[in-house]
Structures are given as structure tokens and as C-alpha cells.
Amino acid sequence: MITPPRTAELFLDALAEETAFREDLVGDFAEEFADRARRDGTRAARFWYYRELLRTTPHVLSNWVSGLKASDAVRLVSIAFSSLTFLLVLDLLPAVMIVSIARTFGFAHGFPIGAPRSITRLLIEMAIAIPNAALGGVIAAYLGDRTPLLSGLALGVVWAGTAFLVRFIVALSGHGAFGLATIGMAGISGILILGSTVLGAMFRVRVKRPRATAGS
């Protein structure tokens, strides 16, 4: 049996909240994919699937936002902060160890919470933050099982926004610079964190919803 690309299908499956709508959407995509694969070949069918996925995603998100209730927003924010709090507790001991090691190797002030002063420090921060963000995405998807992808996305937005706000406050207090370079670095780190939380959520979906007949 010809089946759609598994990761793309899981992304589509994790995107919608209502079960009936999600099943209809995934089913329609799978049916059209099979028809195109028989008619035009698997490669052309894959291209069509990914193209339609990119085209459909903004519309699904727009429909979801337009029907968003206050209780749904509160639930997503609660999931995001719960996941972030869990990660902070989980990372407390390793963070203390990392700061101690950093000071041993010449970083007199460890890794301050303010803006990074070099690309090297940004890379070090991201090497720590990206795996944590991916783990956070898994946790958020687990807590927000009804909307795993949106829960991971909410965590990424809250995390990146909080980090940017903290940098701004630290800069205002006179403990760091906040120029265009810092804004650029904060933007890059925010995008990486957001992408990592979404990938973590997708991993959770992939593990939880295995397909009987694996796609290629």
C-alpha cells in the first residue's frame, strides 16, 4: 500500500484539534496522495503532499485562532509555563555545575542572564538551550495531548518571549548592552528555541501515534 511521508502526515495529524476534522483532513490527504502516486509516481505525490501541507497549515492555524476561546488560551499558556517550570527545576543542578565549570575555565561571571557578548557565548547557550527546548516540546505535547503541536508552539513562544524580556530588563538595569547585534542574536536564539520545541512535540506525536504501515 502506498502511504504518505510519515513525518508530514503526523505533522498534519498533530495540527488540528477537533478529532473529526483531523481525521477527515488526514484521510483526504492520504487518498489524494495514493491517487497521485499511482498516476504520477511517488516522487511527484510526495512533492504534492509537502506543498499542500505548507499551503494548508496557515489556514488550519487561522481557523483555530478564530475559534479560540479564553479557556483554550489559558490552557495553552498554563501548559507552556508548567513545561518551562519543570525544565527549570530539572536543569537547576546541571546549570549550577555548568556555571562552576565555566568559572573554572576563565568565565569570571559564569554565563550571565543578560545579552551574550559574543557569537561563541551564543553558541554555548544554544548548545544548552536547544536540547532543553526539544525536551520541553515533548513535555508540552504530553501535557497538551489534545493539541500537541500547538502546545509545543506555545511553549516556544513563551520561552523565547520570556528570554527576550529578561535580556531587555537586564540591559535597562545597566548590566548589559541591548543594541541591534543583541536583538539579532536574541532573534536567532528565539527561532532556534521555537523550532526545537516544535520538533520535540513532533517527536512525542511520532512515538505516541505509530502508523501500522510505515511510510517511506
The pTM of this model reads: 0.70
DSSP string covering the chain, please? -----HHHHHHHHHH--SHHHHHHHHHHHHHHHHHHHHHH-HHHHHHHHHHHHHHHHHHHHHHHHHT--HHHHHHHHHHHHHHHHHHHHHHHHHHHHHHHHHHHTT-TT-S-SS--SSHHHHHHHHHHHHHHHHHHHHHHHHHTTTSHHHHHHHHHHHHHHHHHHHHHHHHHTTSS--SHHHHHHHHHHHHHHHHHHHHHHHHHHHHHS--SS---
Tell me the average pLDDT across 147-158.
89
Higher pLDDT, 22 or 132: 132
Name the residue ranges covered by the structural domains of the chain.
6-66, 70-208
Bigger pLDDT: 173 vs 160: 160
Q: What is the pLDDT of residues 89-122, one digit of tens each?
A: 877 766 677 667 766 766 545 444 444 456 676 6
> What integer best gives the mean pLDDT of the chain?
79
pLDDT-derived band at 38, boundaries 50, 70, 90: very high
Q: What is the pLDDT of residue 114?
A: 45
pLDDT band for position 79 (cuts 50, 70, 90): very high
Q: Is the pLDDT score of 181 beyond 90?
A: no
For residues 69 and 182, which has the higher predicted lDDT (pLDDT)? Answer: 69
